Amino acid sequence: MACSQSSDVKVSPHDKEILNQIFNPGLPYGDEVDDDGAENVEAVEETEAIKKSKELEVQGVKAAEAGDVDGAITFFGRAVVEAPDWPSAYNNRAQALRLKGDDEGAKRDLEKALELSQHRGTVACQAFTQRGLLRKRAGDDDGAKEDFQRAAELGGGFAKQLLASMNPYAALCNQMLGDVMQKLRAGQGEI
């Protein structure tokens, strides 16, 4: 989940303009909102505890990538104990808990990550996105949209895509475009 302008999500200039029109309908087509400053968070002094927590988080990520979700949860739990005021550890543990199916545990960790991050920065962006996914899965579309909107405001490209997909007009346009493309591939139509 990328949560800044330098996200891994590749979006064409045309797609950016379309997304900008969805999120900023009052602006003329082609104008952009400057997202600089979305990361405005006071610098946190990197204590020894935070350094150790980061090391444990790296081990947790490696465990998760190797398919050892329980091991990842253990590493992230140790990271939380090492630096209980470090929001990233809670956010990462929430991701692992989500993978394990422990939505309630994930929600608790996401709430703590949001509290500690003061709803700002990359960790908050990721936490809002994760919480939005949990809310969507639970059938709370309004809550999910609210979280995706908050993440999008923090620069989350993935959250913007999720919001656009929840827009009924966008969904209809995507369906119509898919139908046209399918007919073109089958040689049944012309543009």
Contact indicator for 95, 109 with CB cutoff of 8 Å:
no
pLDDT in tens, 138-174: 999 999 999 999 999 999 989 988 888 887 776 567 6
Count of positions (residues) in the chain: 191
Buried b (16+ CB within 10 A) or exposed e, 106-134: bbebbebbbebbebebbbbbbbbbbbbbb
Which pLDDT score, from 0 to 100, does residue 68 have? 95
**Rg of the chain over CA atoms, in angstroms?**
19
Per-residue confidence band for 11, with pLDDT thresholds at 50, 70 and 90: very low
Which pLDDT score, from 0 to 100, does residue 87 have? 97
Question: Which H or E run includes 76?
Answer: helix 69-82
Q: Where in the chain are the domains? A: 13-23+46-185
Contact indicator for 172, 153 with CB cutoff of 8 Å:
no
Residue 149 and residue 166: Cα distance in Å, rounded? Answer: 11
Residue 148 and residue 162: Cα distance in Å, rounded? Answer: 7
On the question of pLDDT at 188 being above 80, the answer is no
On the question of pLDDT at 40 being above 90, the answer is no
On the question of pLDDT at 17 being above 80, the answer is no
pLDDT in tens, 75-125: 999 999 999 999 999 999 999 999 999 999 999 999 999 999 999 999 999
Which pLDDT score, from 0 to 100, does residue 32 have? 40
Per-residue confidence band for 183, with pLDDT thresholds at 50, 70 and 90: confident
Which pLDDT score, from 0 to 100, does residue 145 have? 95
Candidate CATH numbers 1.25.40.10, 3.60.21.10, 1.10.8.640, 3.20.20.70; the one for domain 13-23+46-185:
1.25.40.10
Terminal-to-terminal C-alpha distance of the chain: 35
CA angle 143/111/141 to nearest 5° reads 10
